[in-house]
């Protein structure tokens, strides 16, 4: 596989807490990868290391053949590496559109009109009708969509969605799932971090399970779901 993103021997500790690694993961262009694991298993820490919120203590991260391990987050975003956050924190008093214009200020990707691009993204996540409403007026589903839209204005090559479906109803989960499928069909590599098993298993071509910062299983969804170590983590002995 000619990897789009390579995570090599990445480790991260917080004081005495060894949160992650060493982990090695290769993600191919156009892939749909699921990342599962119990609470505190290091999923978000891994994403924070990949996207530049944290510097790993050890290891290397290569994106499109370039070593980005020590680059600031905004530069990684400009290269096409985007993530959504587990807990959406929009600028509550700003409109939906304004919430997208803020990150675009840091991207400076091209001379295309920023409002035009933001409107396209709002259309693609079905939030166009909410364009001029304050973010604080949004429903839980709409907040999740705004969080994804904020990541998508960067026109990423890879989107890492950290629990983008948490707290949603079944119908709303389907809505986000089809949005992520559409993005993937348009060529975006998608990494889905998720506790909602049927969603992550139906979406992913490959699933990786973390436990206490280490990969305990990796493979096709059915293989990982049937893996004894994974079942023990989720269901006990």
Ligand X SMILES: Nc1ncnc2c1ncn2[C@@H]1O[C@H](COP(=O)(O)OP(=O)(O)OP(=O)(O)O)[C@@H](O)[C@H]1O
Place of tokens 């589903």: 141
Binding mask 39-68 for Mg ion (x = CB under 5 A): ----xx------------------------
Alpha helices in 30-128 (DSSP H): 43-51, 73-79, 96-107, 114-124
Q: What single DSSP character describes residue 130?
A: G
Using CB under 6 A, which of 22, 28, 29, 40 touches ligand X? 40
Query: Distance between alpha carbon 91 and the CA centroid of its chain, in Å?
Result: 20
The reply to whether 196 sits near ligand X by the rule CB under 6 A is no
Tell me whether residue 187 or residue 236 sits nearer to ligand X (CB atom): 236
CB of residue 19 to Mg ion, shortest distance in Å:
11
Alpha-carbon gap, residue 34 to 190, rounded angstroms: 8
The interface partner of residue 102, options being Mg ion, ligand X, none and the CB cut-off 5 to 8 Å by kind, is none
Q: Give the one entry of ligand X, Mg ion, none that residue 106 binds, where binding means its C-beta sits below a cut-off of 5 to 8 angstroms depending on kind.
A: none
- Per DSSP, 90 falls in state -
Give the residue from 173, 237, 228 showing the smallest Cα distance to 203: 173
Residues making contact with ligand X (CB under 6 A):
14, 17, 19, 37, 39-45, 86
Q: Which positions touch Mg ion (CB under 5 A)?
A: 43-44
């Amino acid at each position: 596989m000619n990897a789009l993103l390579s995570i090599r021997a990445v480790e991260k500790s917080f004081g005495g807490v060894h949160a992650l690694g060493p982990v090695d993961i290769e993600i191919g262009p156009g892939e749909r990868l699921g990342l599962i694991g119990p609470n505190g298993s290091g999923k978000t820490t891994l994403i924070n290391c990949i996207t530049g919120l944290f510097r790993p203590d050890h290891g290397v991260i290569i994106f499109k053949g370039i070593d980005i391990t020590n680059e600031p987050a905004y530069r990684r975003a400009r290269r096409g590496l985007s993530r959504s956050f587990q807990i959406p924190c929009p600028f509550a008093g700003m409109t939906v559109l304004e919430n997208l214009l803020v990150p675009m200020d840091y991207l400076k990707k091209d001379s295309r009109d920023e409002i035009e691009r933001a409107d396209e993204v709002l259309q693609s996540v079905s939030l166009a009708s909410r364009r001029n409403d304050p973010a604080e007026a949004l429903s839980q589903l709409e907040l999740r969509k705004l969080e994804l839209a904020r990541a998508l204005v960067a026109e990423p090559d890879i989107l890492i969605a950290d629990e983008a479906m948490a707290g949603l109803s079944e119908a709303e989960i389907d809505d986000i799932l089809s949005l992520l499928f559409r993005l993937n069909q348009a060529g975006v590599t998608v990494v889905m971090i998720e506790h909602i098993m049927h969603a992550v298993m139906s979406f992913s071509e490959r699933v990786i399970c973390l436990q206490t910062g280490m990969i305990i299983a990796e493979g096709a969804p059915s293989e990982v779901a049937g893996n004894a170590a994974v079942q023990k983590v989720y269901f006990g002995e």
